[in-house]
Amino acid sequence: MSSYAAHIATVQARFDAALTATGFDSAFIYAGQPRVAFLDDNPAPFKVNPLFKYWIPVTDSPKSAIFYERGARPVVFLFQPRDFWHAAVKIAPAEWQEHVELVVVDSLEKVTRYLGDKLKATAFLGEHFAEPVASWPVRAHNPDALIDHLHFHRAIKTDWEVENLRVANDRAAKAHLAAKDAFFAGKSELEIHHAYLAAINFRESELPYNSIVGLNEHGAILHYDVYETSAPRESRSFLIDAGATYRGYCADITRTYSREQSGFFAELVEAVDNAQQALLGEIEPGVDYYQLHVSQHLKIAQILSDFEFVRGSAESIYEQGFSSAFFPHGLGHFIGLQVHDVGGFLRNDRGDQFDRDPRHPFLRLLRPVEEGQVFTIEPGLYVVDQLLEAHANAKELNWQRIDELRPYGGVRIEDSIVVGKAGNNENLTRDAFARLEN
């Protein structure tokens, strides 16, 4: 059995269990369609429903759909309208077509005629903001119980999904190296961004998210995506958080570089990288992801002490909340069909959720670590004045030393990890870079 055949069998089994548990006989998974801008007829780039591409690796066919009845062969309605305004979507022959009933339609009315009364008993999964789907007499739109059940189990990736994630990371790593070269060549943020896209022959809309390409102090802006068109007089540091896609699966990689190969900031980048790699050795089934987050905080707190940003022990720096001012975001998140993949707060497939910790409000993942999960590990250390204001009078903070870091912005290192047995994990990101270097 091929890895895709095993994957779609797993997806069917998960849908069977979810439909049975929630009292539905069938699901209609709508790919979605583009939305137009306000007071305009210009649509935003199309992003397919992740539950649609969970079944088949088709990401650019708006208004297509999948109808699935428990235990039956899925029906894929491939929408190909008669349209002289736009190029027709080209769907090449592929293995997925052997596992579905493929029906090509040029209008959604043909879908309703095909399904008849079955539509009234189905759960509609997807956006339904536009006609005619907005008025379809389905039993329910996006029922929480059904979606929670699916999202909980989607956290465990199939072999086919991991294969796709490897390729996405290969692509992103290749582009990262091109961006690194552009940085050391003195290019502007926009020029670095263009080098990234050119390295993998991507349009910007093909990226899984807006790339973060920050020189110097811009590295301290967590979601910076302005892209200055002129290079700064001096490029001291470079933080890039950028990904790629393959068959709808996402890579998410962050690296930080120092212009000078020795000295204060280069040593800080190395320290954060070492702390991240040390944390990777703690990942194994049964460990709570929250505990990994706390462990990483303590390692960042030790760096704050070692570099004399904050006076005190790692434990005291963490307990007083100083580490959160320098490392404000979560340690990471699930990744797969979505960059921030779903299910990180679910206790079970019935929709019960873990309580969020007000101490770490931006942590996106609270579940115990399980074999087959794929998540990111991305510690950071930045100078964010807005967060440091709360500690303006703290005698423990060494403002002179902090001021030395401010022109560099900060450091973030991010890898994606496939959890294996007993800590035998796969680092998708570092393996991708290693393949390029060999």
Residue 287: alpha-carbon gap to chain centroid:
22
Residues paired with residue 427 on neighbouring β-strands, in sequence order: 417
> Binding site for Mn(2+): what residues are annotated?
241, 252, 333, 378, 414
Contact present, 432 and 173 (Cβ < 8 Å) = yes
Q: Provide the pairing of β-strand 123-125 with 26-30.
A: parallel
99 token code pair: 């596992």
Binding site per annotation, positions:
241, 252, 333, 378, 414
Cα 108 to Cα 30: distance, rounded to the nearest angstrom: 11
Q: How many secondary structure helices (H) and strands (E) does the chain include?
A: 13, 14
Q: Which helix (H) or strand (E) holds 67?
A: strand 65-69
For residue 129, which of 29, 32, 40, 27 has the smallest C-alpha distance? 32
What SS3 state is found at 264?
helix
Question: What's 354's DSSP letter?
Answer: P
Provide the 3-class DSSP secondary structure of residue 92: coil
The pair of three-digit structure tokens given for residue 381, joined into one six-digit string: 């250390």
